[in-house]
Amino acid sequence: MSSVPGELETAQYEGTRVERSNREVAEIANREYKWGWSTDIESETIPKGLNEDIVRLISLKKAEPDWMTEWRLKAYRHWVQSSEPDWANVRYDEPDFQDISYYSAPKQRPAVKSLDEVDPKLLETFEKLGIPLEEQKRMAGVAVDAVFDSVSVATTHREILAKKGIIFCPISEAIREHPELVQKYLGSVVPRSDNFYASLNSAVFSDGSFVYVPKGVKCPMDLSTYFRINAADTGQFERTLIIADEGAEVNYLEGCTAPRRDENQLHAAVVELVAHANATIRYSTVQNWYAGDHEGKGGIFNFVTKRGKCLGDNSRISWTQVETGSAITWKYPSCLLMGDNSVGEFYSVALTRNHQQADTGTKMIHLGRNTRSTIIAKTISAGQSNSSYRGLVRIMPKALNARNYTQCDSLLIGDRCGAHTFPYIDVRNKTASTEHEASTSKISEDQLFYCQSRGIGPENAISMVVNGFCKEVFDHLPMEFAVEATKLLSISLEGSVG
Amino acid sequence: MLEVKQLAASVNGNAILKGIDLQVNEGEVHAIMGPNGSGKSTLAQVLAGHEAYEVDPSSRVNFLGADLLELPAEERARAGLFLAFQYPVEIPGVTNAHFLRAAMNEIRVSRGMEELDAMDFEDLLREKMELINIDPGFAKRFVNFGFSGGEKKRNEILQLAVMEPRLAILDETDSGLDIDALRIVSDGVNKLRTPTRAFILVTHYQRLLSYIVPDFVHVLYKGRIVKSGGKDLALELEERGYDWLKEDAAELVEA
């Protein structure tokens, strides 16, 4: 820390402190990604490349019924004919889709009946990530599905949930055990032909979580999936499907990390949510994939399609996301508000630093009467990163009295980063009301000086201002996730906590 | 406690302070007065460590035995210096209670003391709020966010009360206050006067000094202290304005 007066000789009023915080942010950027280690475990990885035989092989590995193999092949054929989207405000070299392995699983995986049969190395891995799976150590209030590379390795608390009729299992198991539900809902929200990455995912997805909450049941605990990419040169393509039947309620949490590697790795997930009449689904994500080093080398390409369908009247879907990882994020958790009086919500914090790029936002499509949507998006950019909010609010002709409120706030740290907002508003019904508020601010010299004059060092001051900026979103996270998110931001920005 | 010698400072090459000498002892209240643009607020900000100002290397400021100018702003605060801002800054999303506890704990840690936990801090905050008649609702509001001008100034005094500095500099704390708000703020400050705590009141008007009676009054003009005296000097300024001093100062500058 230096503020020797002599050093300020040539400094401009705007310059000094910002440069100092730039330096600090740069120092922080060089800090290790805490989750960057990898597990040495023998894996079975199929050859690189993608063609119909690979799709069949994945389906075979998962012992899937024919209808599923066919479903995948149709998706593959669509994917071959489609091209990568190029409208996002991100720049990268197109991945070589033939240079990726589409399936990797820890070897000797038995049909796990109990956790005693799970490879201890896997249990260790998740324990090290702060997700203990063993019975005696588990988090009491949260059921966890742990996905390692292409497969689910363990799902906790299943018996308790089963007593209420709730199904919480790996999607590969659901395809075998609950084909009627999977056939009914898979692809019903995100069709196979939806977009390039959704088609790719539909062809090769290997695992993910399946949740079904029956009529009138309020899920007694939060459900959670933890995704871990471990193997090199593989992609992770998980698929999550959550169905809340009439009057059901469920909170779902998702976390993710990956080892530090110099090559970019592809993560292309699809998440589908279905809320029937009077049902509520709250979906929270803390995304912390490896983001690449300070020069922008390595990191995860996170190309994700997440969408929820408020199918029944008075249904509600709420997305909350804290995005701090990935080299590139391309992600728009959306809501189709079909039922009358249905409600869609999107609360987002996206933090980029170093050379990270994020293009994220939401789509709120109002179809039913009296539908309401709320969008609160907070974007924080530091270093040389670029962050964009992209959001669509569409109000269809039959959506009488639809309401939307959108608020996009951007916070810049330093003077080499960028924040961009791309709002699209498409109103086709005169009774609609939409509001859009946007702001861009820098962490001001004045805020830093004010904190410092109260004895708070500049690193903690930045962290405090940023956490304050995110408060409206953090308030929507479940308690332990909010604590996690606050910590994650502090680690990202100051490194002294956690 | 505070010894300022030949303090000179400029911003963007414009000299604003041109050699200030000032001695403040424990328990004293000094008022710095002067017309607009004389450098009063700059003096307050330079002492608190604002980096926008370029301080002349020959300047010396000793505060409780430390070379103040060598310290970054946060270390000056930890050493016991407090600045009540003329324009308090808003920090949305951060509650007053959280902010003050973070500040207090950083100071405590820097002094090798244990951090105060949330419960103990709450007790302390409530006690301070009662002492200076502040609405308990302040604790949960975001720092200065959506505060009226008067509320912001009262919030500064609350911070002063919690941080318990050895030297408090009040930068135009009276500006923009109506008579009732001025009285509340002044009462707060008077309650916080102790034999070991010193105050520097930076003000344009004599008005504040009827409520907080100073031991010394200094007139700052064009970056220099052109006259010092007792509390009567403030009354004289009220009566005669600054012009007669400007003439004296012109001679002083030329000499």
pLDDT in tens, A122-172: 777 777 666 666 655 555 566 777 777 666 666 777 788 889 999 998 898
Q: Please give the pLDDT value at position A14.
A: 32
Any idea which of A158-162, A300-304, B248-252 has the lowest mean pLDDT?
Answer: B248-252
Q: Is B78 on the interface with A (CB under 8 A)?
A: yes
CB-nearest to B159 from A444, A447, A454 is: A454
Find the CB nearest A5 among B54, B73, B88. Answer: B54
Residues of chain B contacting A486 with CB distance shorter than 8 Å: none
Nearest CA to CA, how far is A11 from chain B (Å)? 8
Query: Closest approach of chain A CAs to the CA of B195, in angstroms?
Result: 23
B59 → chain A, closest CA residue: A5
Q: How far apart are the first and last CA of chain B?
A: 31
Residue A8 is nearest to which of B48, B54, B83, comparing CB atoms?
A: B54
Least confident stretch, A255-259, A288-292, A305-309, B30-34: A255-259
Distance from CA of B74 to the nearest CA of A (A): 4
Q: Which of B51, B87, B88 shows the shortest C-beta gap to A17?
A: B51
Question: pLDDT band at residue A233, thresholds of 50, 70 and 90?
Answer: low
Q: Is B123 exposed, middle or buried (0-12, 13-18, 19+ CB in 10 A)?
A: exposed
pLDDT (0 to 100) of residue A153: 65
ipTM: 0.94
Query: Which tokens hold the place of A154?
Result: 């363990």
Q: Which residue is closest to A452 within chain B, CA to CA?
A: B74
Give the pLDDT score at A283.
94
Task: Note whether A430 and A453 are same-domain residues.
Answer: no
Contact assignment for B91 to A5 by CB distance below 8 Å: no
Instruction: Tell me whether residue A38 is in a domain.
Output: no
* The pLDDT value given to residue A151: 67
* Whether B61 contacts B3, CB under 8 Å: yes
Confidence of residue A102 (pLDDT cuts 50, 70, 90): confident
pLDDT-wise least confident of A95-104, A224-233, A347-356: A224-233
Q: Is residue A313 within 8 Å of A368, Cβ to Cβ?
A: yes
pLDDT of amino acid A47:
83
Q: What is the C-alpha radius of gyration for chain B, rounded to an integer number of angstroms?
A: 18
**Does the beta-carbon distance from A452 to B77 stay under 8 Å?**
yes
Using pLDDT thresholds of 50, 70 and 90, give the confidence band for residue A456.
Answer: very high
| A17, A444, A455: residue with CB nearest B74 | A455
Q: Over 90: is that where the pLDDT of A59 sits?
A: yes
Q: DSSP states of chain B as a string?
A: -EEEEEEEEEETTEEEEEEEEEEE-TT-EEEEE--TTSSHHHHHHHHHT-TTSEEPTT-EEEETTEEGGGS-HHHHHHTTEEEE-SSPPPEEEEEHHHHHHHHHHHHHHHTTPPPPPHHHHHHHHHHHHHHTT--GGGGGSEETTT--HHHHHHHHHHHHHHH--SEEEEESTTTT--HHHHHHHHHHHHHT--TT-EEEEEES-SHHHHHS--SEEEEEETTEEEEEE-HHHHHHHHHH-SHHHHHHHHHHHH-
Q: Best interface-test mutation with A: which of B61, B94, B163 has the largest number of A CBs within 10 A?
A: B94
Pick B106's closest partner by Cβ from A6, A16, A457. Answer: A457
pLDDT at A385: 86
Residues A233 and A311 in one domain: yes
| Phi, psi for residue B246 in degrees, rounded to 5 | -60, -40
CA distance A423 to A332: 13
Query: Which chain B residue is nearest to residue A447, measuring alpha carbons?
Result: B89
Number of Cβ pairs closer than 8 Å across A and B? 108
The answer to whether residues A95 and A10 belong to one domain is: no
CB B182 within 8 A of CB B208: yes
B165: nearest Cα among B135, B134, B181, B189: B189
Percent of chain B with pLDDT strictly greater than 90: 72
Please state the three-class secondary structure of A365-391 as a single string: EECCCCCEEEEEEEEEECCCCEEEEEE
Report, as an integer, the average pLDDT of B241-251. 74
**Same domain flag for A371 and A456:** no
Which residues 183-212 of chain B have a CB within 8 Å of chain A? none
Average pLDDT over residues B196-204: 94
Contacts of B123 (CB under 8 A, 6+ apart): none
> Which residues in chain B (104-143) have CB-CB distances under 8 A to chain A?
104, 106-107, 110, 142
Output the 3-class SS for chain A: CCCCHHHHCCCCCCHHHHHHHHHHHHHHHCCCCCCCCCCCCCEEECCCCCCHHHHHHHHHHCCCCHHHHHHHHHHHHHHHHCCCCCCCCCCCCCCCCCCCECCEEECCCCCCCCHHHCCHHHHHHHHHCCCCCCCCCCCCCEEEEEEECCEEEEECCHHHHHHCCCEEEEHHHHHHHCHHHHHHHCCCCCCCCCCHHHHHHHHHCCECEEEEECCCCECCCEEEEEEECCCCCECECEEEEEEECCCCEEEEEEEEECCCCCCEEEECCEEEEEECCCCEEEEEEEECCCCCCCCCCCEEEEEEEEEEEECCCCCEEEEEEEECCCCEEEECCEEEECCCCCEEEEEEEEEECCCCEEEEEEEEEECCCCCEEEEEEEEEECCCCEEEEEEEEEECCCCCCCEEEEEEEEEECCCCCEEEEEEEEEECCCCCEEEEEEEEEECCHHHHHHHHCCCCCHHHHHHHHHHHHHHHHHCCCCHHHHHHHHHHHHHHHCCCCC
Nearest chain A Cα to B12, which residue?
Answer: A12
Output the pTM of the full model. Answer: 0.80
Interface of A with B (CB under 8 A): 1-6, 8-9, 11-13, 16-17, 20, 444-447, 449-458, 460, 464-465, 467-472
For residue B78, what are the domain limits? Answer: 2-254
Contact state of A453 with B83 under an 8 Å Cβ cutoff:
yes
Q: Give the residue from chain A lying closest to B108, CA to CA.
A: A455
A144 against B120, higher pLDDT:
B120
- Taking an 8 Å cut-off on Cβ atoms, the answer to whether B82 and A453 are in contact is yes
pLDDT of B178 higher than 90: no
A13-50 core/surface letters (b: 16 or more CB in 10 A; e: else) = eeebbbebbbebbbebbeeebebeebbebebbbbeeeb
Which residue in chain A has the smallest CA separation from B77? A455
In this structure, is residue A37 part of a structural domain?
no
**CA A456 distance to own-chain centroid:** 33
Which chain B residues contact residue A450 at CB under 8 A? 85, 88-89, 91
d(C-alpha A278, C-alpha A311), whole Å: 10
Per-residue pLDDT reduced to its tens digit, B133-164? 899 999 999 999 999 988 999 999 999 999 99
Q: CA A331, A32, A252, A145 torsion: positive or negative?
A: positive
Q: At A381, which amino acid appears?
A: S
Inter-chain touch B12–A454, beta carbons under 8 Å: no
In a domain, A198, yes or no: yes
pLDDT confidence tier of residue A475, bands split at 50, 70 and 90: confident
Least confident span in A128-137, A179-188, A440-449, B47-56: A128-137
* A371 falls within a domain: yes
Q: Which two tokens stand for residue A252?
A: 């779902």
A428 Cβ contact list (under 8 Å, min separation 6): A394, A395, A396, A397
Binary contact (B91, A457; C-beta < 8 A) = no
A341-355, A475-489, B141-155, B226-240, range with the lowest pLDDT:
A475-489
* Chain-chain contact of B159 with A456 (C-beta, under 8 angstroms): no
The answer to whether B55 touches B11, Cβ cutoff 8 Å, is: no
> Do A213 and A221 contact (CB within 8 A), yes or no?
no
A465/B51 Cβ within 8 A: no
Cβ distance A469 to B92 less than 8 Å, yes or no, reads yes
Q: Given pLDDT bands bounded at 50, 70 and 90, which one contains residue A217?
A: very high
Distance CA A168, CA A250 (A): 11
The answer to whether the Cβ–Cβ distance between A449 and B76 falls below 8 Å is no
Specify whether the CB–CB gap between A406 and A378 falls below 8 A.
no
A369 contact partners, CB below 8 Å, separation of at least 6: A340, A341, A398, A399, A400, A401, A402
Residues A430 and A465 in one domain: no
Model confidence at B246: pLDDT above 80:
no
Q: Based on the domain organization, do A497 and A400 belong to the same domain? A: no
Contact between A454 and B142 using a beta-carbon 8 Å cutoff: no
Does pLDDT of A374 surpass 70?
Answer: yes
Q: Tell me which residue in A13, A449, A470 faces B73 most closely, judged by beta carbons.
A: A449
Which residue range is the domain that position A477 belongs to? Answer: 1-31+448-498
User: Does residue A121 share a domain with residue A26?
Assistant: no
Scanning the structure block, which residue is given the tokens 């409520």?
B211
Q: Is residue A17 scored above 60 in pLDDT?
A: no
Measured between CA atoms, how close is B156 to chain A, in angstroms?
11
Q: Are residue A25 and residue A109 in the same domain, yes or no? A: no
Determine the distance in angstroms separating the CA of A5 from the nearest CA of chain B, rounded to an integer: 6
Inter-chain contact B77–A449, Cβ cutoff 8 Å? no
The CATH number of residue B25's host domain is 3.40.50.300
Contact B50 A449 (CB under 8 A): yes
pLDDT band per the 50, 70, 90 thresholds, residue B79:
very high
Mutation target vs A (from B46, B47, B51; most A CBs, 10 A cutoff): B51
Of A186-200, A285-299, A319-333, the poorest mean pLDDT is in A285-299
Summarize pLDDT for A317-370 with one digit per residue, the tens.
999 998 888 788 889 999 999 999 999 999 999 888 888 888 999 999 999 999
Mean pLDDT on B70-81: 95
Q: Kindly determine whether residue A456 and residue B74, on different chains, have CB atoms separated by under 8 Å.
A: yes
Out of A452, A469, A471, the one facing B72 most closely (by C-beta) is A452
Find tokens 């980096």 and name the residue.
Answer: B51
Residue A121 lies in a domain: yes
Closest-CA distance, A85 to chain B, in angstroms, reads 37
For the cut 80, the answer to whether the pLDDT of residue A21 exceeds it is: no
Q: Return phi, psi of residue A399, to 5°.
A: -80, 80
In a mutational test of the B interface, the residue from A450, A471, A497 whose CB has the highest number of chain B CBs within 10 Å is: A450
Closest CA relative to residue A285, chosen from A273, A299, A297:
A273
**Mean pLDDT for the stretch of residues A475-479:** 81
- When divided into structural domains, chain B yields a total of 1
Residues A342 and A396 in one domain: yes
pLDDT band at A286 (very low <50, low <70, confident <90, very high): confident
* Minimal CA separation from A278 to chain B, in Å: 33
Say yes or no: A395 and A472 in one domain.
no
Q: How far apart are CA A400 and CA A317, in angstroms?
A: 20
The residue whose two tokens read 């269809």 is A396
Give the separation between CA A137 and CA A134, rounded to whole angstroms.
6
pLDDT at A158: 78
Say yes or no: A386 and A425 in one domain. Answer: yes
Give the bridge partners for A346, in sequence order: A319, A375
Q: What is the mean pLDDT of chain A?
A: 82
Counting the structural domains of chain A, the total is 2
A455 and A438 within one domain: no
